[in-house]
Amino acid sequence: MKVLLYGGTFDPPHNGHMNNLRAALELVQPDRAIVMPAGTPPHKAASATPGAVRLAMCGCFTALSPVVEVSDWEIRQGGRSYTVHTLEMLRQRFPDAALYLSVGSDMLLTFRQWRRWQDILAMAALVVESRRPGDDAALAAAARDLETAGGRVLFAQAESYPCASSDLRTGRIPRTQWPDYLPEKVLQVIEAQGLYREADPLPEREESCCDL
């Protein structure tokens, strides 16, 4: 059995996140893929968007595959979320499974700064997505370094996506363009919850027959 963990703040989740998970699914072919919105990531300030709302937005990921599920485990723990603790929970829940951890290319380059990174490598293979042009040499070197330390690093074929969640929250990407960057499910939650109101109103859209 293969279990893939895909974590993040997801404030909000956008099409780049969707592309990354899609690439990881295609590479790993997991039996279960668990999307895990963070409580408070250790490398970021606490999200102003409540965990329950970010959890609802993450429902967009289930459209990618029947094996995808969304978990509130980190949110329910409260405080800072550390990947090693989540993997320990999954190891207890799925003792015989091969665990895979989805990470962005920027995270691979700083992986030795993660809490108990050696334990993470012992528990899970790293699945790296979203290579930026020119990063291949640095990523290959980082992968070799971690493999020397006992890790396993796989590269999924996901192209870099020209969007960050902060670009949407702060209005650097105009709200009128959000339908080009956000899944329909996420747009629905944003409208229903009145999120990110500093941006301009969303444009009217055609009704969708499915909840993506």
Q: Three-class SS of residue 109?
A: helix
pLDDT tens for 131-171 read 666 578 899 999 999 999 999 999 998 877 889 999 999 98
Which helix (H) or strand (E) segment holds residue 119: the answer is helix 117-123
Contacts of 167 (CB under 8 A, 6+ apart): 173
CA angle 62, 64, 68 (to 5 degrees): 45
Model confidence at 201, pLDDT cuts 50, 70, 90, reads very low
pLDDT tens for 63-94 read 999 999 999 999 999 878 899 999 999 999 99
User: Rounded CA gap, 131 and 125, in Å?
Assistant: 18
Count CB-CB contacts under 10 A for residue 195: 20
Give the chain's domains with CATH numbers. Answer: 2-193 (3.40.50.620)
What per-residue confidence (pLDDT) applies to 207? 31
Model confidence at 117, pLDDT cuts 50, 70, 90, reads very high
Q: Where are the alpha helices (DSSP H) in 29-80?
A: 51-57, 73-77
Going 35 to 3 to 97 to 119, the CA torsion angle's sign is negative
pTM: 0.89
